[in-house]
């Protein structure tokens, strides 16, 4: 999972480089400042995962839903085996979406919408950075938990069942989409993430607890980095050009 997500991030960066080659001349001072302060930015985003006042609803949901999901693992798995819900083609949609294509599609959306809205290159870089760091961080934590728990999949093919990587990545992305594009696209993305999780159970590749735990992990990380992104960026009207500039504020 980590290798797959890393390769996806590399492709994202390559595509972004192509897009920027057609944009205005980059401000080298902005880039240098961004690189200099990036470790602080990343640490602040990661630290928000443990900020209980901001994440309390996610923690309460996890405290209730994760134990219950463990109790229902076997019963739900047996029910799904006896009562198939999705066809093979429908399940494949969830597998493909949660594999990497959800992040590719979101990158394309960021490039297109920012270009149409005539946003400065710095905004495009920041939004893409948010996408990449959210996906990569989710992949790292998910892979680490898979190694630590060493839980066998319900189909007995491998010991990387807990938590579901497809689900954690999809829920983390849903938080990013909701932040960037508003409630309606965000809720649709959360619905798609739930669908991805259901297909993982349906295909006998994950237990209910794998999926629920992946969803909680993804939401924690996605909400954390979007919160940091929101704190750093503010809309500033430019009276001379009658346009909107996006400014970066880094607090040390």
**DSSP run (H or E) holding 43:** helix 28-47
Per-residue pLDDT of the chain (252 residues; tens, 9 = 90+): 444 554 555 455 545 544 444 445 555 676 778 788 889 999 999 999 999 999 999 999 999 999 999 999 999 999 998 998 898 899 999 999 988 889 999 999 999 999 999 888 888 888 999 999 999 999 999 999 999 999 999 999 999 999 999 999 999 999 999 999 999 999 999 999 999 999 999 999 999 999 999 999 999 999 999 999 998 875 434 433 344 444 443 333
Residue 2's pLDDT is 46
Q: State the pTM of this model.
A: 0.86
**From CA 3, how far away is CA 17, in angstroms rounded?**
21
Domains of the chain, each with CATH number or no CATH: 2-14+55-225 (1.20.144)
In terms of Cβ atoms closer than 10 Å to its own Cβ (0-12, 13-18, 19+), residue 246 is middle
* Peptide linkage before 61 cis (omega within 30 of 0): no
Collect contacts of 175-180 with beta carbons under 8 A, ≥24 apart: 175/134, 175/218, 175/219, 175/222, 175/223, 175/226, 176/106, 176/130, 176/131, 176/134, 176/222, 176/225, 176/226, 177/106, 178/226, 179/130, 179/226, 179/229, 179/230, 180/110, 180/127, 180/130
pLDDT on residue 248: 40
- Per the CB < 8 A criterion, the answer to whether 174 and 184 are in contact is no
Q: Say what the pLDDT of residue 35 is.
A: 81
Give, as one character, the DSSP assignment of residue 248.
Answer: E
Q: Which two tokens stand for residue 56?
A: 């309390």
Tokens 């939004």 map to which residue? Answer: 127
Alpha-carbon Rg for the chain, nearest whole angstrom, is 19
What's the CA gap between 143 and 137, in Å, rounded?
10
């Amino acid at each position: 999972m980590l290798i797959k997500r890393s390769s996806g991030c590399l492709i994202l960066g390559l595509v972004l480089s192509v897009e920027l080659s057609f944009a205005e001349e980059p401000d080298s001072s902005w880039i240098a400042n961004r690189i200099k302060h990036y470790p602080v930015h990343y640490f602040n985003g990661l630290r928000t995962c443990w900020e209980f006042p901001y994440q309390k609803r996610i923690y309460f949901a996890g405290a209730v839903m994760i134990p219950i999901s463990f109790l229902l693992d076997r019963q739900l798995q047996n029910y799904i085996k006896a009562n198939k819900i999705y066809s093979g083609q429908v399940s494949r949609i969830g597998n493909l979406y949660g594999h990497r294509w959800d992040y590719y599609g979101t990158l394309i959306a960021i490039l297109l919408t920012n270009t149409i809205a005539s946003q400065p290159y710095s905004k495009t870089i920041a939004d893409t950075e948010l996408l990449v760091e959210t996906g990569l961080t989710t992949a790292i934590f998910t892979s680490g938990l898979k190694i630590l728990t060493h839980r066998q999949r319900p189909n007995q093919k491998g010991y990387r069942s807990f938590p579901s990587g497809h689900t954690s990545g999809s829920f983390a992305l849903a938080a990013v989409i909701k932040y960037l594009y508003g409630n309606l696209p965000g809720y649709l993305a959360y619905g798609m993430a739930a669908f991805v999780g259901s297909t993982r159970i349906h295909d006998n590749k994950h237990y209910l607890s794998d999926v629920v735990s992946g969803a909680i992990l993804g939401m924690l990380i996605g909400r954390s980095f979007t919160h940091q992104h929101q704190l750093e960026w503010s809309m500033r009207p430019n009276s001379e050009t009658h346009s909107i500039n996006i400014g970066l504020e880094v607090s040390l």
